[in-house]
Each structure stands twice: as structure tokens, then as C-alpha cells.
């Protein structure tokens, strides 16, 4: 069984100070240190996953295809920096419009990835910037690390790999 890092997207990987909803490549500005941090995690045996709420789809602000295109660009950018994102799951729903089982704080996205990739929950961690991220981690039976949004997560990474 492999160990994994589940990463929230906006505020953890992509700086979301200027754009609350990020769905176009020109809105994609990376949080300081993100490439080095993900490389360190990878070098220490973690598989990397992204789990993200994308309620703007439900609200009609952008389409699922827009997010898939952005995620393709995201994967390519990470690949150019020697980082492999094993998989990305996102919830297209918004609690203002409908109920679902996948939107964080529900743990379903994490649970699906744990099952699909035969991951070890006791050695896996969710890194997020919100209470729903931490609730999703707890619900999936993994450790949650809450960081300050849009800040370099290096201190937390160093703690994980030591």
C-alpha cells in the first residue's frame, strides 16, 4: 500500500487571492514554493492527488470542460517541473443548488482515491486551507493538515518527511 498526499487546489496549490473561482489558465498563479514542496513529498515516497470543490460549475460560472482543460494544463505544468499528479477529483456541485455526497466536507473523493489506488490511510494526509478540507480528511480516516491559504506550506512538508 502506498502513502498519499491529498491536496486542495485553490489556496494550497493555486493562489486564489485575486480570483475566488479559478477556471482559466490566465488565473493560474502558483503559491510560493509549491513546486519544491511537491518535489520533496514525491522524493519521500508520497503519491500526489488533488481533491477540489468546483461549485462554480453548478452555479453556471464555468463548465466541467473548462475545469478539465485547466486541470490538463495544471498536470502539464507540474510534469514540466518533474512532479506527477496521480489523479484529480473534483465535485461540480454547490450546496446552495443541490445536495451531493462528494462535496467536501464529505470524504467521498478521498475515499474513492484510497480504494482506487490501494492507498494506506494511516500514512496518508490531506493538506487543505479550510475546515471542510479537515472534515473530509477526518471522515476518510486520514490525517489533516490545515495551512494558511496562499502561503508556502514548506514548514508542514518538512514536518511530514522527518
Catalytic residues: 8, 10
Supply the DSSP string of 28-76, one letter for each residue: --BPTTHHHHHHHHHHTTEEEEEEEE-TTTTTTSS-HHHHHHHHHHHHH
CB 19 within 8 Å of CB 139? no
C-alpha–C-alpha distance, residues 35 and 7, integer Å:
13
Amino acid at each position: 500500500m502506498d502513502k498519499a498526499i491529498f491536496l486542495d487546489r485553490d489556496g494550497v496549490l493555486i493562489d486564489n487571492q485575486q480570483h475566488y473561482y479559478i477556471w482559466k489558465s490566465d488565473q493560474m498563479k502558483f503559491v510560493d514554493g509549491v513546486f519544491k514542496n511537491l518535489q520533496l513529498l514525491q522524493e519521500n515516497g508520497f503519491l500526489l492527488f488533488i481533491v477540489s470543490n468546483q461549485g462554480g460549475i453548478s452555479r453556471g460560472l464555468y463548465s466541467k470542460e473548462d475545469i478539465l482543460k485547466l486541470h490538463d494544463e495544471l498536470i502539464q505544468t507540474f510534469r514540466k517541473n518533474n512532479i506527477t499528479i496521480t489523479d484529480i477529483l473534483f465535485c461540480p456541485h454547490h450546496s446552495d443548488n443541490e445536495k451531493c455526497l462528494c462535496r467536501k466536507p464529505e470524504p467521498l473523493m478521498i475515499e474513492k482515491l484510497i480504494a482506487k489506488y490501494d492507498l494506506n490511510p494511516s500514512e496518508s494526509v490531506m493538506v487543505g486551507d479550510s475546515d471542510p478540507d479537515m472534515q473530509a480528511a477526518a471522515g476518510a480516516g486520514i490525517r489533516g493538515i490545515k495551512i494558511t491559504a496562499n502561503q508556502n506550506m514548506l514548514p508542514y512538508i518538512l514536518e511530514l518527511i522527518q
